[in-house]
Structure 1
């Protein structure tokens, strides 16, 4: 009998909670639930007798084919396709925004525009994307919609766990053409599942990927809400993660929660959200072993334009990478459309915009793999090799943030009582990690001029 996803992935703390295994299980004995850390994981409702191994074959954190190998099969023969190690396969890259959806979206609104366009033009019958639920226990879930207004209502980034088991079963049951949005690991899981299931392969006609630095648990949202002033976290009905303020740059967005009485609490990125995000609090362990920055198996990938010439604009701007000839043609034909404002941008600028995520998922990952190997941990094979020498500062950063990541989950549980979080006690217990991370931040700031000088010297040498 073959091993299953519980034995190999869940027990080794490598599950990202995408739900693909439960969605495709032929016996339907896998169900998805959240654990004490607010992370989704599968469990068996009855003992698996068949041990067919299908659940493991569709897991994005099992040792299946990597993104480069899969990308070559999906996109390698497409005319005009190019390849870079950072981005995977790509046709073209664009920068811009949707005039209609820009303000209501996390960045430039191009994801919402594209999904609405696909529905409006009858190119797809259904769109699958994370949708608000007004349920404190499940604030968001993947939903299937054929309505443009529902797509518009779902616009905005979601830093909250969602899982695909139910929508995968619906795709298998209900004929139609589907467009699915997802993070890199979710898109890979869908691609793996499509290899095993003809209906998924035929019915999922477009995948829309999002650049992802890390996922967050349900407890992350509870922590930020408590930090913003929410006392009863069980009464939250709605959260918005990327609010825009005209007087602030796009990077200093705000989190806002609304309770059952309509009371709202708001907190900006620079007021405490960044501390939890940057230092990887409430991040699933699986995220430590992801090397896909640009959702390499998606037909089109969207992200924030974190470049100096765009990030100061509070309204937000998108960068886009295309891999589907159809999507690329659709975008290029819309360049002169007054409803959207897009233009081509060099792929190197796109890579530059995500340099921080690339560092985390490539350079820092290599050291994480070294530590896992050293400690005898079971981790997936990645395209980067285990490396010990990434620099003293980076090694320290990885170790400090890894410890804070683990401790944040445990300390939250201790201080979460009666549907509320004792913020003061939580932060007191986290203070040793906060102090170390702040020290690392100061060192990074001091090192910046040194790095700039080195770059200038290298450019001068190249010019000689």
Structure 2
């Protein structure tokens, strides 16, 4: 049997849906389509007879020779003043702050939008590739190419929704120019792998802007949240990160706009958090990701999830820079309020995601190996988890991930029914956490008593 992105990636449920394989296929036999689970996958529209292997070479989850360390070293290892740590990859500098113009219309502090605008205005790039709303109910968001600052502004905000890059990558290959691309860690890794294979892409994509990522959701996640919000009509648009002055930045809201022009809103703490943190509708490929900080990107932007900033409803950005060219633009920047911040604080801001992508990943890899699943080579080694409560938590979240995916796809149920199905798993999670707290408290009490006894003995 031939080895292709279909047989090795899609059939093993390892596809993240980036679309680079489709864009670079020299024979045009692939196309991106929605699968049964509301995820993008490549499909063969005509039989592949050449078996050139290019589709596998650009896949971010199957190339065993390249990872974020090797790619990062080649890109940034020789940069003067560069630093490296395992969590972030390479970095030159780190900042905290916001854009005065884009703060309120962006997901966090608006720095990603400001950086793209500044790159355009300073003639570092000619065009920007970013995700924007489409107004199409069957595909709510998509990548688009812009050459004006007004166009870039339409891409402000987050899109917790599947998108794929095949069309815009083909446009880049057809139209000369200097491009900046925004993307999630796995998408930018795919672009870096593709640049090794394609000279035009290597020359034309001159800046990559990364966004930190915990997981990618299927489009059924948006359907679920809409149902949870009480939306009955067809959804034509959604804002995934709305801000309210009477809520902290962490309690953002979704706003759905329906075909009859009605708006309905639901906040993070009203049920979105439950589905997000318990990995409902998460793609299986995300189970194998060990990159939090988009280590292949020239600059990475993220929320400042730190006590000093997260209570500000307007949002605040953290910026991790790897490219001297981008750093120069930031240092010259006007209309931004930025301070230097230690990389330790940057790492701390994403502590929860790091736990999932490093500690939990080690156990997931071990679990999947035992089940005989095909797993990609990662920088984290498979390891048996010694803590039975944590082991149970990882197991339960994986059950919820797979069951939400299957149940919603097969039955087209509503939010209330899915919550009912998930309730036993949530009860078990809560019980495990309570037991863990009791054990931790008991250990601390015991250590305190032992310390007192030792102190009295020595006294």
- State the TM-score bracket (shorter-chain normalisation): over 0.9
- Could you list the runs of 4 or more consecutive aligned residues of structure 1 that deviate by over 3 angstroms after TM superposition? 437-456
Alignment partner of 1:252 is 2:251 = yes
Are 1:281 and 2:280 counterparts? yes
Map 1:338-377 to 2 at 5 A: 339-377=335-373
Instruction: Work out whether 1:428 is the aligned partner of 2:429.
Output: no
Deviation at 1:121, TM superposition (A): 2.1
Q: Structure 1 pair 447/214, CA: closer, same or farther in 2 (3 Å)? A: farther
CA distance in 2, matches of 1:294, 1:453: 38
Alignment of structure 1 residues 49-64 onto 2, 5 Å: 49-62=49-62, 63-64=64-65
How far apart, in 2, do the equivalents of 1:381 and 1:36 lie?
27
The alignment partner of 2:135 has SS state of: coil
CA displacement 1:306-336 (0-9 Å, x = unmatched): 00000010110000110000111221233xx
8 A contact 1:250–1:313 mirrored in 2: yes
Instruction: State how many pairs are aligned.
Output: 447
Separation in 2, partners of 1:20, 1:217: 18
Secondary structure of the corresponding residue to residue 192 of structure 2: helix
* Cα deviations by residue, 1:426-455 (Å, 9 ceiling, x for unpaired): 222222223233434545666787899999
SS at match of 1:77: coil
Please, what TM-score do these two structures have when normalized by structure 1? 0.93
Secondary structure of residue in 2 paired with 1:70: helix
Task: Report if the CA contact (8 A) 1:364-1:390 is conserved.
Answer: no
1:212 partnered with 2:204: no
Contact 1:243–1:255, Cα closer than 8 Å, also in 2: yes
Question: What does residue range 378-393 of structure 1 map to in structure 2 within 5 Å?
Answer: 378-393=374-389
CA distance change for structure 1 residues 38 and 397 in 2, over 3 Å: closer, same or farther?
Answer: same
Alpha-carbon offset, residue 396 of structure 1? 1.1
- Give the stretch that moved more between structures: 110-119 or 293-302: 110-119
Counterpart for residue 266 of structure 2: 267
| Unmatched segments (≥5 aa) in structure 1 | 457-464
* 1:292 aligned residue: 291
- Rounded Cα–Cα distance in structure 2 between residues aligned with 1:432 and 1:376: 27
Q: Please report the RMSD computed on the Cα atoms of aligned residues, expressed in angstroms.
A: 1.9
Contact in 2 for aligned 1:214/1:283 (Cα 8 Å): yes
Q: Distance in 2 between matches of 1:7 and 1:205?
A: 33
Q: Is the 8 A contact 1:415 1:426 kept in 2?
A: no
SS at match of 1:140: strand
CA deviations on 1:99-150 (whole Å, 9 max, x unpaired) are 1100000000000111111122222111001110011100001111112112
CA–CA separation in structure 1 for the residues paired with 2:172 and 2:231: 38
Give ranges in structure 2 of 5+ residues lacking alignment.
449-459
Match of residue 42 from structure 2: 42
Question: Is residue 409 from structure 1 mapped to residue 428 from structure 2 by the alignment?
Answer: no
Q: Quick check: 2:228–2:416 contact (8 Å CA) kept in 1?
A: no
Which secondary structure state, in structure 2, belongs to the residue aligned with residue 11 of structure 1?
Answer: helix
Measured in 2, the distance between the counterparts of 1:227 and 1:250 equals: 21
8 Å contact 1:411–1:429 — kept in the other structure?
A: no
State the alpha-carbon separation in 2 of the partners of residues 229 and 444 from structure 1.
Answer: 36
> Which residue number in structure 1 is paired with residue 454 of structure 2?
none
